[in-house]
Structures are given as structure tokens and as C-alpha cells.
Amino acid sequence: MQVKEIMTGSPRTVAPETGLLEVVSLMCLYRYSGLPVVDEGNLVGFIAEKDVLHKLFPTLEDMMADGLAVVDYEGMMAKYKGVVNLRVKDLMTTGVVTVSPDDHILKAAGTMVRNRFRRIPVAESGKLLGVLSLGDIHKALFQVNLSSGMGVR
């Protein structure tokens, strides 16, 4: 079974200039764990929940410079307002790992598991064609196995 058979085509995308407030709103409202970043039809990055949350944590260098022995979690929460005022381009991952629409779904799953991705862009020649999630793969495997008489015992 190929990726193109189970991927979500025409996924929601954002532009590099999109404000993070809009992105985190989409993430919370629609339960997206991440969104492809597209500029003039080309896949240029990916913005994930972890990218946004990572920005809240001080770097090791900051902790050492400030002599921090204890992390101020309440202070970190207060930083969220500043983070959502940034733009996608400020936090997105570039050099995105993708899969091909012609890849076998288990090859795609292997790429996702190795990279600890929950979803991955499906692209060809730099153009976004869709998004594949681990849930898509799991659902396809479940359906194939149940329809072939390999039901639960």
C-alpha cells in the first residue's frame, strides 16, 4: 500500500509570515500537532507544537549566565504571550524530512518512528501533496488486516 492511498490531500498549511497566534489557535481548535509551511507553493518548513513550547524553556547558556539552579515555571508560562507574537518563520523547522507519495506506508512509518514524528509532509519536487500521520498508517493496517479475515482473537 502506498502513501498516496492513505495520506490527507490538500492539508491545512501556513505561510512563513503567519503569526503564531493564528497557528496555535488552529492547533488548539483542530488538534493539529503540526502544520506544513508553504511559500509560493513550495514546502519550506514545518511548525509543530513542540517548536512553540520549546521556545518557553531557557537555554543551558541562559541558565548558566543567569546562575539559575531552579527553573521558574510560572515565569516560563508568562513567556507564552511573547512567543505567540512571533511569526512562523521565527520558529519553524527548515530542511523538512518528507516522504514520497509512492513510498510504501511501512517505509514512511519507519521514517516517522526514527525521527519521532507524529505526522510528515508528503512532497514531490519540493511541492506539498499531502500529510501522513501515524494514525493514518495505523488505521490502514487495521482495516487491511480485518478485511482479510485476520480479526481479533
Using DSSP's 3-state secondary structure scheme, residue 19 falls into strand
Tens of each residue's pLDDT in the chain, 153 residues:
999 999 999 999 999 999 999 999 999 999 998 999 999 989 999 999 999 998 887 776 766 677 766 777 888 888 889 899 999 999 999 999 999 999 999 999 999 999 999 999 999 999 999 999 999 999 999 999 887 666 555
Name the residue range of residue 100's domain.
Answer: 3-147
CATH number for the domain harbouring residue 18: 3.10.580.10
Q: Is residue 153 part of a domain?
A: no
Q: Is residue 60 part of a domain?
A: yes
pTM tops 0.95: no
Q: Is residue 69 part of a domain?
A: yes
Q: How many Cα atoms within 13 Å fall on the side-chain side of residue 104?
A: 4
pLDDT at 76: 81
pLDDT at 55: 87
Query: Could you tell me if residue 40 is left (phi over 0), alpha (psi between -120 and 50 degrees) or otherwise beta?
Result: left
| Residue 43 · residue 128 · CB < 8 Å | yes
Q: Which phi and psi (to 5°) does residue 32 adopt?
A: -80, 135
- How many angstroms separate the CA atoms of 122 and 37, rounded? 13
Strand stretches in the chain, DSSP E: 8-9, 34-39, 42-48, 119-124, 127-133
Instruction: Quote the number of domains for the chain.
Output: 1
